Amino acid sequence: MTQQYHPLTEPEAIEFAKTIPGLFRPDAVLTSREIGDGNLNLVFHISDPSSGASIILKQALPYAKVVGESWPLSLDRARIESEALRIEGELCPDLVPQVYRYEPELALTVMEDLSDHIIMRKGLIERRTYPLFAGHIGRFLARTLFFTSDLGMNQQDKKERQKRFINPDLCKITEDLIFDHPYTDADTNSFDAAIRDEAEQLWNDKELHLEVARLRHGFLTNGQALLHGDLHTGSIFVTEQSTKVIDPEFAYYGPMGFDIGAVLANLLLNYAGQEGWNEEGESRNEYRAYLLQTIKDVWTTFERQFRELWDEANVDRISGTKAFQDIYVEQLLRDTFGYAGCKMVRRIVGLAHVADIDTIPDAAAKERAQRLALTIGKSLIKSHRQAASIDELIELAEKSV
Ligand code: ADP
Ligand code: MG
Ligand code: MG
Ligand code: MG
């Protein structure tokens, strides 16, 4: 079924789902629910209540709604998302939804329904713990980043692949909303009046701006590996047993530390949010300790597996030395600190916030959480070039409270 692009209605989504062989019985009476937030994409949940079979249809919209305006966005990101999911699926089959079909004309991806999982951000706000998460995401990061880089791929094949993931529109969102607007009085910024002093400090901190300029330059020019590009806890589905990464529409060739930093930043944002979610005392300290242990485990799993992959691979003669591996991994840690910091700052003063902090009911607790997140974020940005161990990030988070 080929047809001209238009946003599907629910009945059309059902008709489309019926054309996919092997998913539903021919006589099934299907139901559809649109479950996306509708800002960038439509997400249809299609199911056959009688058999329990279900799928997800994700369709890109040709614009994003931003501060009342419409920001044109290439539909090609649906191709980028479906191709990234397939590459990630080859490297970590258990950690992403299966893609059943990609329909270019409609900018539509048909994929496995993960409704038995919950979005990790929601789970963390409910103070649940995910004992397997760090191992899963550490492996996801090690494998997807190593095997799409010049270390784990033939350099010419990598360049061919890089061509398919240029993604200018989505990169521009990141370049503006993460690496620019929070540091100036931009219209897109949004923050509570109570922390205006913090925002103004951000706009005037020249030392901070210089470090952000370095990190932004790395984002623009360092085509190190195929990134997910938007790896926050809202892009991760979890249960106690399982982890699934979704939504790689921002995928492009960029610095590995951007993805690792995204995961750590979102754990730290929840850490800062404990001001509002957890009574002061033992249970708050326990949950914070769990988050910091998870951060440490994510990094150490990543580093161990990344080094193992390097040792096993046929890395070229000139780069394949232990000395170069040490330098490379040290730089990854530094990038991770810096990008984690940028990701924290933008979630407090920039356009898009996180529920871990924004939905804290008590205004004073929310303000404390926002200030804490900014303190940690700014320190990470300013210290990133000296980082030598993940323990420094843990200590920084502990002493900032
Ligand atoms: P967007 O790019 O618009 O943020 P996402 O891919 O993050 O879209 O999906 C938005 C929401 O749709 C998710 O938070 C989740 O609730 C739901 N969703 C997306 N993919 C799936 C899936 N494979 N299974 C179940 N729900 C999904
Ligand atoms: Mg969304
Ligand atoms: Mg999303
Ligand atoms: Mg998305």
For ligand 1, is residue 34 a contact (CB within 6 Å)? Answer: no
Contact 359, 344 (CB under 8 A): no
Rounded Cα distance, 350 and 30, in Å? 41
Pocket perturbation via mutation, ligand 1, pick of 39, 40, 43 by most ligand atoms within 8 A of CB = 43
CA-based Rg of the chain, rounded to a whole angstrom? 21
24 and 94 inside one domain = yes
Check whether residue 59 and residue 191 sit in a common domain.
no
**Residue 68's pLDDT is what?**
59
Measured in degrees and rounded to the nearest 5, phi and psi for residue 60 equal -75, 140
CB under 5 Å of ion ligand 3: residues: 247
Any domain includes 2: no
* Same-domain pairing of 315 and 370: yes
Q: Which ligand is nearest to the CA of 99?
A: 1
Whether the complex's predicted ipTM is more than 0.90 is answered with yes
360 vs 341: CA distance, rounded Å: 21
Pocket test for ligand 1, best of 237, 246, 249, 250 (most atoms within 8 A of CB): 246
> Which atom of ligand 1 approaches the CA of 111 most closely?
23
- Which of 51, 78, 112 is the C-terminal boundary of a domain? 112
**CA 155 – ligand 3 centroid, Å:** 31
CB of 354 shorter than 6 A to ligand 1:
no
Q: Give the domain-ending residue among 80, 112, 144.
A: 112
pLDDT at 277: 87
Domain-embedded: residue 395: yes
Residue nearest to atom 7 of ligand 1 (CA): 247
Distance CA 338, CA 86 (A): 29
**Residue 35 beta carbon below 6 angstroms from any ligand 1 atom:** yes
Binding-site positions for ATP: 41, 58, 112-114, 247-249
Q: Is 156 helix (H, G, I), strand (E, B) or coil?
A: helix
Is 5 within the bounds of a domain? no
Q: Within this chain, do residues 189 and 337 fall inside the same structural domain, yes or no?
A: yes
For residue 352, the ligand closest to its alpha carbon is 2
Atom of ligand 1 lying closest to residue 246 CA: 6
Binding site as annotated, residues for substrate:
230, 346
CA 171 to chain centre: 13
10-residue stretch averages of pLDDT, the chain, 401 residues long: 86 95 91 88 96 96 74 93 98 98 97 98 97 99 98 97 97 97 97 98 98 98 98 98 98 99 99 90 94 99 98 92 97 99 98 97 97 98 98 98 95
Residue 67 has a pLDDT of 57
326: CATH = 3.90.1200.10
- Domains of the chain: total: 2
Are 276 and 360 found together in one domain?
A: yes
CATH number for the domain that contains residue 72:
3.30.200.20
* d(C-alpha 275, C-alpha 287), whole Å: 11
Neighbours of 239 (CB within 10 A): 16
Q: Are residues 270 and 231 part of one domain? A: yes
Tell me if 74 is assigned to some domain. Answer: yes
Could you tell me which residues are annotated as the binding site? 41, 58, 112-114, 230, 247-249, 346
The rounded Å distance from CA 250 to ligand 4 centre is 7
Torsion of CA 90, 228, 67, 205, to 10 degrees: 180
8 A C-beta contact, residue 100 and residue 112: yes
64 and 160 share one domain: no
Asked if residue 384 and residue 243 are part of one domain, the reply reads yes
Give the tens place of pLDDT for each residue, 186-202. 999 999 999 999 999 99
**pLDDT reported for residue 233:** 98
Q: What gap in Å lies between CA 380 and CA 383, rounded to an integer?
A: 5
My answer on whether 84 and 227 are in the same domain is: no
Note if the pTM is more than 0.95: yes
Q: Are residues 394 and 318 in the same domain?
A: yes
> What is the longest distance spanned by two Cα atoms in the chain?
65
Q: Are residues 353 and 308 in the same domain?
A: yes
Within-domain flag for 182: yes
Same domain for 95 and 212? Answer: no
Q: Is 41 in the pocket of ligand 1 (CB under 6 A)?
A: yes
> Which residue's entry shows tokens 């990133």?
384
Residue with tokens 């993460």: 178
Which of 87, 112, 137 finishes a domain?
Answer: 112
Range of the domain at 43: 10-112
Q: How long is the chain?
A: 401
